[in-house]
Structure 1
Amino acid sequence: MDGAAAVIIGTDPITNLESPFMELNSAVQQFLPNTQNVIDGKLSEKGINFRLGRRIPQNKKLMAKAELKFRVSRAVTGGSSRQARDFEQAGELSEAEEY
């Protein structure tokens, strides 16, 4: 599955002109196996044509479970992405703990 997001990021705001109201503290990109053709887009002279696969609901469920597992592992390890990945790969979150 594919998704997209956009963020405007700046550094050192000019305090009398700019007032930042959010702080970006992490960014994650994940790929689910066997989802490369679930959403397929073709660019032609007629424009962009997208084909949506039947497995989108199942893949969204898998993505939600993967994201939850990752967030829980980050919370357990104190927020470090590398520690969270190591924790996750070590299999310390069992199927029962996912719920």
Structure 2
Amino acid sequence: MDLEKMSKEELEQLKKDVDKALKTVDARQKAEAKRAAEQAAREYGFSLDDLVAGQTGKGNKGVAKYANPADPTQTWTGRGRKPNWVNDALAAGKSLDDLAI
């Protein structure tokens, strides 16, 4: 294929065809990767959905390290902004070790 001899319209069409082909290659590779991941999960007795359910990466709070002594349902991981109950306990003279789970 001699690009120098092609017209602008032919080159633009070629570009569209290449872009379309690249998208289908990506789609095929993603499908193959998903099949491989599903197979690997099955080998361990899980489905792929079992492994990725709820793991969006956003909102993953982690493991709680501290709990409110007055209300143990209120917990904090130690990351991010301190909840008001932690600030109140610290102001009352408690330490984070006192609040540790």
Same fold (TM over 0.5): no
- Which TM class, normalised by the smaller chain length? under 0.3
Q: Which has the higher contact order (CA 8 A, sep 6+)?
A: 1
Give the structure with the larger helix fraction.
2
TM-score if structure 2 supplies the norm length? 0.27
TM-score if structure 1 supplies the norm length? 0.27
